[in-house]
Amino acid sequence: MTFPQNFSLDAIGVVHSPFKEKFGIPRQPGLAQTPAVIELLPPYAVADAVKGLDTFSHIWITFIFHGISTQEWKPLVRPPRLGGNEKIGVFATRSTHRPNPIGLSVVRLEKIEIAQGVKLYIRGADLLDGTPVLDIKPYLPYADVIADARAGFAQKLPERLRVRWHSSARDVAQDISTDSCAMIEDVLAFDPRPAYQDEPLRIYGMHIDKYNVRFRIDEHGVEIVGIEAVISEIR
């Protein structure tokens, strides 16, 4: 049997999300209930293409990992759930560095707007802003839920850390919406640091939505030590 070894795929849409950089993105969809929008692109941005999709609560998104380095793929990678020290086969992980940089996420579909183009509002996104979308399919509980499935080294939900605000950061946060603060806490609770880094005194920075957030992680959980608006985002 022969088949083409190279394929040409068109992006059907693009993701608008609060994640402006790779660092800080949840490692799996649905961990943090982060909102995002999928905007369909011409010629796919027609109401007929999504007719009936609003009767489903969740959708599968096939996309391109566009924000990764262009390094060559390797057969062995270091998954974060194993502490970043143990190597395992790339096809036994969800690493972004793959022979073909294709991702797959299931997210909640909250609503669809078709007044000006077609926009799908989703929640539980683990998608970088600007992510090209290749395909969208409805999630089918009877087919997609496998109750007795095994998940190897990632059987359990990652530990959720307690998030607290330093007094100076809390003062600034009074001018930030409750939804934005909750989103930031939700993302940080799953420890976005590289698995091999465990330095309680180190201050990390993350660009999420319109804010630069500085935080550290110690034995008590996550402490947000600073937050400020990103000037380039202010209009």
In the chain, what are the domain boundaries? 13-144, 163-233
Give CA angle at 51 (48, 55), nearest 5°. 170
d(CA 216, CA 223): 5
- The helix/strand/coil state of 69 is coil
Helix intervals (H) in 36-164? 141-144
Q: How many CA atoms lie within 13 A of 163 on its CB side?
A: 21
Query: In the structure encoding, which two tokens stand for residue 196, read together?
Result: 């091999």
**Banded model confidence at residue 235, pLDDT cuts 50, 70, 90:** very low
Q: 99 near 111, Cβ under 8 Å?
A: no
Q: For position 192, what pLDDT does the model report?
A: 87
Ranked by mean pLDDT, the top range of 50-59, 154-163, 182-191 is: 50-59
Mean pLDDT computed over 52-65: 97
Confidence band (pLDDT; 50, 70, 90) for 1? low
Structure tokens at 88: 């395992």
The per-residue b/e assignment along 59-96, b for 16 or more CB within 10 angstroms, e otherwise, is bbbebbbebeeeeeeeeebbbbbbeeeeebebeebbbb
- Within 10 Å of residue 173's Cβ, how many Cβ atoms? 18
Q: Considering the domain delimited by 13-144, tell me its CATH architecture.
A: Beta Barrel (2.40)
pLDDT tier, 188 (very low <50, low <70, confident <90, very high otherwise): very high
Of 153 and 41, the structure prediction assigns the larger pLDDT to: 41
Contact (Cβ atoms closer than 8 angstroms) between residue 40 and residue 203: no
**Confidence check: pLDDT of 25 > 70:** yes
Mean pLDDT of the chain: 90
Class of domain 163-233: alpha beta
Tens-digit pLDDT profile for residues 66-114: 887 767 788 998 887 777 778 999 999 888 888 899 999 999 999 999 9
